[in-house]
Structure 1
């Protein structure tokens, strides 16, 4: 059977256990620090079906460790609550039934304090497992790595979901005070050219490091010569599209995108508001006047594609993006910068791409589909990525809410074309 030969998340090498435990503590604390500014009343709010309450993210990431690490590997482990599996299973059919996603915000119980105790219960059990069962470390360590990468994803979702919830509140309260980037003169958009030929993309097994199953296997692709814009598209540039009637002309839009624009009455990116003849945008620091030098953010694939057509360009393929970014340093405006908002591009002393990592996830024109020879992880964890390879587009590069230790050039994020509550933006190609 195919399932018997599919890939296990267990790595060929045993990670450094002390370093893994230290990272486990760091990532788990980081989730609580991100949730700390959010009062209990707001941690229950679910502002749309695609988003989840803060306390659900805190609980689901604990359920993940409980279900895939502790229950199978820690002898005599006692689940914290027998009904939590129903409440906090997201989409793993092999792990049992799930509470309806669109109703997560209807539950007052368990309380935020209950979730805090649940997280402590799971954390203590993980440390007992590592300390007292060395014979299980190879399997357990690799599964813990999966759980940590999974929690990093939910840290970003926690922030984007609470941003949507706060923006939906007529009071439009801030998540916390943010320090604005210093004013910057708009930097010119330049083009970086790349030769055509056969390139290899995807995660290399030789790196002997963690990657999700959808990043494998490494394989060859043929590319025609291409060029990428050396920075992201700014609010000012996208405003030109709006003022030129971009949302009013079907000529720039894919058919499904135009239907959506008409049905939802879109006239600007998500969180943009016209107040007193000036554009404003909602940020995690609250509502403020729109800065034209910052990268345009919270755009759907349809909006990104329409802008690219209007600009006489296109969106890059994911292969083009990875080839252009493969050797760039993994630095930028990521979560550790604490900006929690895209920042203007700065001049670069080289002709390399700017803003490749951080600021906004960059839409590509590539449908989210399996690489040649793709093998999902085995058993229930095989549901992690593979079953979503339909009706989604790939995004690359991370955002201002992505942790530095989570992003890499081969990382494949994916969302449906209409999604725009994530930090998503545009880099042009031609």
Structure 2
């Protein structure tokens, strides 16, 4: 397909999403099934355009002077580095291409002052209602923080130390220019894609198939590392999901810990079995939603709660989620988080720890939930997560937002500060 046909296809996908209120992945999949002549390169380029529009929909509309899908796609193409003269040349004589915007529109879009006078929520590419929560969560620089959540993400992986080393996996992935992550000692990174490019499908590589590495954002790796799993300890991954952090905890302890993985959603838990087998983990017991966990009460050295959340830290990868998020959904999530934390607290042995993690940057889901928990649970206190960072990551920069709560502190990672997805970490200690 020529560029004009790809632009027209991206417009069609966005119109379908808008009309039917459906997730971007479903709309792209259906378009591909209905247009089987499109090659993998075409589908990748179309997907890039659609995702770029979703990441920066409001700022693109402001700069183009229009919210029409065609205007947004042209804006995304220009924003990805295609010059106007290249665009004109590529679309000349292409009967499938939408009409090219006027020279005046193109000049205004590319002007350094194209976002001058835009409301902060527009410049930040978020719904209006999220401006206040993001400002309260990320401080005076929140617009730049939110814009970083609209960038294309890298592809991060974690070397599985049960089977390999980071250096060996780097050698395996040398054809893809993988490099060590700057913070996690386990991590590898392939840089964000440029233009019409795409990340390699590393899941078909020998190293992935044989369990030498897993796909896992560096922020998620750091959360598992800060949790401080130790050999010989008893650990409960209370919201295990597909098992990413369970695998990281098993590798961190060298298969020398007793680990229990539980999730209330059977479907989320389903992939864990294959992943555990591929990674070569031992000592991991998986508990289904209806299993009786009462024998584990008061018996865990570490309970990790990667709580259900809005995913407001993963907008680089799931940009359609920020446009679907509502205030009522945020309220529902905070209620679920309070319940999950209270349930998980029952498993912590006196004197031991509970790590609370989310992939959100919103204070309502993070520090506010810790404050609410401490008010309900006087037998817990908040540890100083900055001290934990220095102990666990002695060579890493302090690439986080820290907030003091009483004598303790909590941390928030962001794309702008740490180069990771948005993640929150707090460590709670049971004192009685």
TM-score by length of 2: 0.30
Higher fraction of helix: 2
Larger radius of gyration: 2
Q: Quick one: higher RCO (CA 8 Å, sep 6+), 1 or 2?
A: 1
Higher fraction of strand: 2
TM-score by length of 1: 0.31
